[in-house]
Amino acid sequence: MSIIVLSAVNEMLQSIGESPVTSLNSGLLEAAIALDLLDQQNEKIQAIGYPFNTEKNFRLSRDIDGIIHLPDNTLKVCGPLTDNGYVKQRGHKLYNSKEQSFTFSASVVVNLVLKIPFDELTVTTRNYITLKAARIFQDRTIGANDLHGYQKQDEEEARRLFLDEADTEKYNIFHGPMRYDLQRDLF
């Protein structure tokens, strides 16, 4: 594990008043729980799919048996073929719902949401994931309401910065955050 992951785990430990560890294999139960929770939150946040972890128009080739295996770090398969129900993710393979089979006659182009390793994310993204995981860790471990409030404020600020950075696409009135405000106002 990297120094970046160790730093995140230590921040989580500090959120409950625990001393930092020098290694992720320290034997401290709280450090192991923090590491698991950090990984869970990393995956949960990335599973939404953002420009930084979405590969558009990704060609997946079939093997000799016609089966299409997904990359190990696949969180979600989406795109035109999945929208009409033709292609579905089942475990680490694609399922052909037209043929009701795992076999395909040709390669398939989809959009993939991939899990990027924590230490390869931007500082802003890592900060948001760490603060969210730390708040949940603190809630589950100590559950002090006064600490929860402070951590929730920090988490919300980090989330705002993360979303600002993650939304790198060009926006207009019909695409992006304004669109959701318009839809809300119409109903």
Tokens of 107: 């390669």
> Would you say residue 35 lies in a domain?
yes
The answer on 157 and 78 residing in a single domain is no
> Would you say residue 19 lies in a domain?
yes
> Would you say residue 77 lies in a domain?
yes
Domain region containing 56: 52-114
Check residue 84 and give its pLDDT: 57
pTM above the 0.85 mark? no
DSSP 8-state assignment for residue 18: P
The answer on 148 and 59 residing in a single domain is no
The answer on 63 and 16 residing in a single domain is no
Domain count, the chain: 2
pLDDT per residue, tens digit, the chain (187 aa), is 699 999 999 999 998 999 999 999 988 999 999 999 999 999 999 999 999 999 999 999 999 999 999 999 999 998 766 555 678 899 999 998 888 999 998 888 999 999 999 999 999 999 999 999 999 999 888 865 655 555 777 788 888 888 888 876 544 455 554 444 444 444 4
Q: What's the 3-state SS for 50-108? A: CHHHEEEEEEECCCCCCECECCCCEEEEECHHHHCCCEEEECCEEEECCCCECECCCCE
